[in-house]
Chain A
């Protein structure tokens, strides 16, 4: 009896989950914004936005990305990597105080957001080398 109840509950849950509209993905967030930012952004000790973005582009090219869009005024770069799979990244740079640039990256792998810290750490490690600057963790 218990089993039957458990199974019917499971089936109902699955069906209900199936009924939820896929538009909920628009405002979906698996983690809190604070948590996401803790590994998606770093501060660099430079006030040069253009140089920061040029370094971001060079790093993305090193990682086999093809740039999709770039905008100096807005401070954004988007790029796609195709290697049997697809990774899309958007990187933004904006001033933090008068001496630092805050660089934020977000990535999607196929049709999913990348929400583990490691790939972002890898990206910032590569960016640090290209910028000859240390990436500071931001609180």
Chain B
């Protein structure tokens, strides 16, 4: 029978422990590029931003809050002095495609847990646009929104945490905002 030398055995124990420790350490470090702008940063900024003329920052924030309410968002936080509104809504995350897939898999004897609920979060930030000499203008604003969501499945497990970056969503939001700004201007 083959037996390890006692000294060697403890050596192995240490190696295994060190490996286990370093592995758990690795799993919990921040990705290297998490806080670095990417090549598509500028593109994303353009997609998520609009400039509106003939409106004060306060008026724009009020109009924006109106649009968020139109879309069923609840305001979580706001700091008008910094042009910030934070809003969220909880909605169903059921999708026909996933349910079809789950049924098909169930027929094959496999289990697939479908998504059930989602929390959608928006931060809406305004700032005065700058004039030619670099001074903030009282009558022109730049607005930028960023959207993200968390999705839970029927077992209440978090299945997705992601940024929402579909251009159509941002375009639709800003279209609604343009209308809302008009409504605010008309005081309807």
Chain A residues with Cβ below 8 Å from B162 are 82-84
- Chain A CB count within 10 A is highest, among B36, B79, B81, for B79
Chain B residues with Cβ below 8 Å from A44 are none
Chain A residues with Cβ below 8 Å from B34 are 63, 81, 83, 85, 87, 109, 119, 122
Distance of A112 Cα from B30 Cα, bound (Å): 9
- How many residues of chain A are within 8 Å of chain B by beta carbon? 46
Distance of A122 Cα from B36 Cα, bound (Å): 6
Distance of A119 Cα from B32 Cα, bound (Å): 7
Chain B residues with Cβ below 8 Å from A63 are 34-37, 41
How extensive is the interface on chain B, given as a class?
Answer: 35 or more
- Is B125 located at the chain interface by the 8 A CB criterion? yes
SS of A interface (majority): mixed
Of chain A, the residue at the smallest CB distance from B76 is A68
- Given A72-B82, A86-B161, is A66 in contact with B37 using a C-beta cutoff of 8 Å? no
Q: Are A71 and B161 in contact (CB under 8 A)?
A: no
- Given A64-B163, A69-B77, A72-B79, is A3 in contact with B6 using a C-beta cutoff of 8 Å? yes
What total count of A-B pairs have CB within 8 Å?
Answer: 128
Q: Are A62 and B41 in contact (CB under 8 A)?
A: yes
Distance of A84 Cα from B125 Cα, bound (Å): 24
- Is B168 located at the chain interface by the 8 A CB criterion? no
Chain A residues with Cβ below 8 Å from B41 are 62-63
Q: A-facing mask of B122-136, CB < 8 A → 1, else 0?
A: 110101000000000
Q: Are A6 and B10 in contact (CB under 8 A)?
A: yes
- Given A69-B77, A82-B163, A122-B36, is A2 in contact with B125 using a C-beta cutoff of 8 Å? no
Q: Are B161 and A112 in contact (CB under 8 A)?
A: no
- Is B63 located at the chain interface by the 8 A CB criterion? no
Of chain B, the residue at the smallest CB distance from A72 is B81
A52-110 interface (Cβ within 8 A of B): 53-54, 57-58, 61-72, 77, 79-87, 107, 109-110
Chain B residues with Cβ below 8 Å from A10 are 13, 17
Q: A-facing mask of B5-35, CB < 8 A → 1, else 0?
A: 0110110010001000000000011111011
Chain A residues with Cβ below 8 Å from B13 are 3, 6-7, 10
- Is A45 located at the chain interface by the 8 A CB criterion? no
Distance of A77 Cα from B77 Cα, bound (Å): 12
Chain A residues with Cβ below 8 Å from B82 are 50, 53-54, 57, 70, 72, 77
19 more contacts with CB within 8 A, not counting A61-B45, A112-B29, A119-B34, are: A3-B7, A3-B10, A50-B82, A57-B84, A61-B146, A62-B41, A66-B123, A68-B86, A69-B79, A72-B81, A81-B163, A82-B162, A85-B161, A87-B30, A107-B30, A109-B30, A119-B30, A122-B36, A123-B35
Q: List 5 A-B contacts (CB under 8 A).
A: A50-B81, A64-B146, A69-B79, A82-B148, A82-B161
Closest 9 CB pairs of A and B: A67-B123, A109-B30, A82-B161, A122-B35, A72-B81, A70-B79, A70-B84, A66-B123, A3-B10
